[in-house]
Amino acid sequence: MCGIVGFSGHHQAAPILLEGLSKLEYRGYDSAGLAVRDKDRMAEVVKSNGRLKVLAEMTDNGNALKGTTGIGHTRWATHGAPSKINAHPHVSGNCTNSGSGTVESEVVGVHNGIIENYQELKEKLIKKSYQFYSQTDTEVAVKLVDYYYKKYGIGPIDAIAKAMVRIRGSYALELMFQEYPDEIWVARKESPMIIGIANGESFIASDVPAILKHTRDVYYIDNLEFACVKPGEVHFYNLNGDEVKKETVRITWDAEAAEKGGFEHFMMKEIHEQPKAVKETLASVLKNGKIDLSSVGLSEEEIKKFSGITIVACGSAWHVGMVAQYVFEDLAGIPVRVELASEYRYRKPIFYENELVIVISQSGETADSLAALRLANENNVETLAIVNVVGSSIAREAKKVFYTLAGPEISVATTKAYSAQLICCYALATEFARIRQKIDAKYYKYLIEELESIPEKIDIIIKDKERIQWFASKQTNARDVFYIGRGIDYAIGLEGSLKLKEISYIHCEAYAAGELKHGTISLIEEGTLVIGILTQRSLYEKTLSNMLEVKSRGAYLASVTTYGNYNIEDTTNFNVYIPNIDEHFSASLAVIPLQLMGYYISLGKGLDVDKPRNLAKSVTVE
């Protein structure tokens, strides 16, 4: 949530900052701003409400702002309504009503995160004669740094360190000091931030895509560290002011992967990239026809000892966990519980001997998931992260890591990251089953072959997307949509429902089909769209029976089922058929039509598919 960029080098900063912010639009925002300066110039601040293109037009795509050092921000409103005055950057002095213009302030800054004790700090600063023009917690942080900077007069290091000690909450803070014209100072607690170096210039961002065009060598700032960024160099410090040595991490993502590549939207591009994401993620652990988890850090001895698994995640990653629960328990015979990360640590979970906690997160920075991981680590249980971003907080703090090789995912609605996470769970469950002697060699070989067939089968479904597009075009005026299924099919429905609601704004829910008679069926009206997922043979007839129940009450029926189940056409109005596959892995195929359905309905309604309202790609605050 929110996006931060920074640049210090030899080129004009503002165009580079705007380009970087455009790569972070998927994070969600309601306003944007820049602050740029040269050695002989005071900082010039420009802010706008609304989309980034407004800021670009105000600054002639950045060309109107002179200077080779600058910071930029896209704001997701937390403290204070979306407005130009509340937009970042903020300054340590007073400012005009617009918050823009040339400012003679000692400190200018931007911030991601939430400062929990901002009101307490604000009251203290008011007593020290500071005046406030915005309702943001960020202005408080900037003025707190200014206060310590002026009080002690010994430079940015001590001022930032003292402010960090006083601030409670989460932050990625980016600051410019008037007396240090070519430097940007950054500080971090919980909220992500990276620094890249290339050709004597330095780049700062809250996520990799913003700087991928310029450099692949990045530094990750650890919690409660800060840094001084100059052209082509960076120095890191701990809270004691001691310098900390760091090594760069090489980002292997292709820069073109963060571009649309001829597609109208990132979401459609990423739907098409799912076969590649699944294939490459599986290939990272599949060696000579066998699953090798040595790169993950799991040994056979450990796998034999685990007495149970807890999967902790949010959103679509939690839906992956729901699928994984069925697969692990059925294949490997190991008990699994799936927890919402946002609830996990607040109900005081009971940890037990030889427990494995798996945390799933695309970004590796999800605040609730990171907190859950830390709780598990504090209780000395084994932790494994399934993440997409190398060097992310969750990847660094988990004891073991299974990387998804999905590349950058830009659309807010996840598709390829979800599919890559699924294949990780399938691989883990299959290997657990083998090592724990729940399956024989013949079945193991069969499962491996089924896993390897998934990319091609996903591609087959995508090639039939025009038929789904035709159906979706008839549903743009739907008011309520319900997804029903049993077992894995219910878990698939959860993800299908989320895809539709988050990008089409249609109310929809997923229900375990057997629960319909326990209240939910009262919601069915004439013409209500009900989508049944039927990929599990043993549950097929039961779910079909539930579909007949809602049909008799006026529901309009659609289904996602496997090839061969053509008798369903006597019951339903529209059907999507997916290739046959081992039923444990059906979610990888059945979710594709549901992704396409959500995309085309959103497109038909004329909505912003990649950047739905009120949502952010990475939720880095509670």
| Pair type for strands 201-205 and 249-250 | unpaired
Those residues whose C-beta lies under 8 Å from the C-beta of residue 455, and which sit 6 or more positions away, are 274, 275, 276, 278, 279
SS3 (DSSP) at 269: helix
How is residue 60 written in tokens?
């002639």
Amino acid found at 434: R
Whether residue 228 lies in the annotated active site: no
In degrees and rounded to multiples of 5, residue 238 shows phi and psi of: -95, 180
Return all residues near 151 (Cβ < 8 A) that are at least 6 apart. none
Query: Among candidates 552, 551, 541, which has minimal Cα distance to 561?
Result: 541
Q: Are 423 and 406 in contact (CB under 8 A)?
A: no
The token pair at 452 is 């390897």
**Number of neighbours of residue 501 by Cβ within 10 angstroms:** 18
Distance CA 492, CA 576 (A): 14
Q: What are phi and psi of 309, to 5 degrees?
A: -125, 135
Q: What is the DSSP secondary-structure string of 307-356?
A: -EEEEEE-HHHHHHHHHHHHHIIIII---EEEEEHHHHGGG-PPP-TTEE
436-466 burial: b if 16+ Cβ within 10 Å, else e: bebbeeeebeebbebbebbbebbeebbeebe
- For tokens 């931060």, the residue is 4
Q: Is residue 257 within 8 Å of 209, Cβ to Cβ?
A: no
**CA–CA gap between residue 370 and residue 363 (Å, rounded):** 11
Q: Sheet harboring 308-313: ordered strands across?
A: 336-340, 308-313, 355-361, 382-387, 400-403
Q: Residue 580: what residue type?
A: N
**Is 76:30 a contact under the CB 8 Å cutoff?**
yes
Catalytic option among 2, 95, 424, 508? 2
Catalytic-residue membership of 2: yes
Backbone angles phi, psi at 243, to 5 degrees: -75, 140
- Which residue among the candidates 162, 457, 465, 617 is catalytic per the annotation? 617
Separation between Cα atoms, residue 3 and residue 28, nearest integer Å: 8
- Contact status, residue 448 vs residue 430, Cβ threshold 8 Å: yes
Burial 214-234 (b: 16+ CB within 10 A, else e): bbbebbbbeeebbbbbbbeeb
DSSP readout, 500-518? HHHHH--EEEEEEGGGGGG
Where residue 153 falls (left for φ over 0; alpha for ψ -120 to 50; beta otherwise) is left
Instruction: Please tell me the distance from the alpha carbon of residue 429 to that of residue 309, in angstroms, as a whole number.
Output: 11
User: Which residues are paired to 578 by β-bridges?
Assistant: 562
Active site residues: 2, 617
